[in-house]
Chains A and B, each alone.
Chain A
Amino acid sequence: SQKIEQNSEALNIQEGKTATLTCNYTNYSPAYLQWYRQDPGRGPVFLLLIRENEKEKRKERLKVTFDTTLKQSLFHITASQPADSATYLCAGGEGQNFVFGPGTRLSVLP
């Protein structure tokens, strides 16, 4: 079955460093990947979308890459801040329906 994996359940980094989160997909080829932020008890909030024919996308301190050979997306937060602490979800889509990964809980330590 279609599967999205995020290799770290939790990631702790120091404030100011770059956080790198990994998303791998198996058993399908999503046409695009999206990254969401989820805070406890809240709904996912959209951050970035990258299509399969795009190598990299940026938005402010965020950067996402899509490597169809490795079947992987990397999500980077540069100059991380404690306010970036949240769970980050990767979701792969072929149309209108997404398969979500389990998320990586990021903690940025002051």
Chain B
Amino acid sequence: EPEVTQTPSHQVTQMGQEVILRCVPISNHLYFYWYRQILGQKVEFLVSFYNNEISEKSEIFDDQFSVERPDGSNFTLKIRSTKLEDSAMYFCASSVGPRGPDTQYFGPGTRLTVL
């Protein structure tokens, strides 16, 4: 069964450094998402991406964050200058298409630790 994959599984970085989290969505899916989950807290929406542009973004997704689909398979989340509070699990998800309610399939996550 096709699945969303994410790399790396764990990323440790120093405060102020840039990180890029990578995702490979399910191949026939058109919508892509990033979520984060701080330890012990709820899953929070960051951004959705469709047709090579951001569809929606939350208040959390400020200028420090950016997303890109650099090729036909990868979807990346970049954090330009990491802060301690960026430490969290980051989940990528994808869904089939833009019409109506749509199930999102989540990847296993990248645990980001900012020191």
Chain A residues proximal to chain B, CB less than 8 Å: 31-32, 34, 36, 38, 41-46, 49, 51, 89, 91, 93, 95-103
**Other 12 A-B pairs with CB < 8 A, given A41-B109, A96-B48:** A34-B101, A34-B104, A36-B106, A38-B43, A41-B111, A43-B91, A43-B107, A95-B56, A96-B31, A96-B56, A97-B45, A103-B42
Assembly CA distance A52 to B110 (angstroms): 33
Check B91 against A97 for contact (C-beta < 8 Å): no
Give the Cβ gap from B32 to chain A, nearest Cβ, in Å. 10
| Contact status of A32 and B101, CB under 8 A, knowing A100-B42, A102-B42 | yes
Neighbouring B residues of A43 by C-beta, 8 Å: 4, 91, 93, 106-109
Give the Cβ gap from B66 to chain A, nearest Cβ, in Å. 18
Neighbouring A residues of B93 by C-beta, 8 Å: 43
| Contact status of A96 and B42, CB under 8 A, knowing A42-B108, A42-B109, A44-B91 | no
Identify whether the interface residues of A are mostly helix, strand, loop, or mixed. strand
Binary contact track B87-115/A, C-beta < 8 Å → 1, others 0: 00101010100100111111111010000
Q: How large is the interface on B (under 10, 10 to 19, 20 to 34, 35 or more residues)?
A: 20 to 34
Check A96 against B106 for contact (C-beta < 8 Å): no
Check B48 against A97 for contact (C-beta < 8 Å): yes
| 18 A/B residue pairs, CB under 8 Å, sorted by A | A31-B101, A41-B111, A43-B108, A46-B103, A46-B104, A46-B105, A49-B101, A49-B103, A89-B43, A96-B48, A96-B50, A97-B45, A97-B56, A98-B104, A100-B44, A100-B45, A102-B41, A103-B42
Check B106 against A45 for contact (C-beta < 8 Å): yes
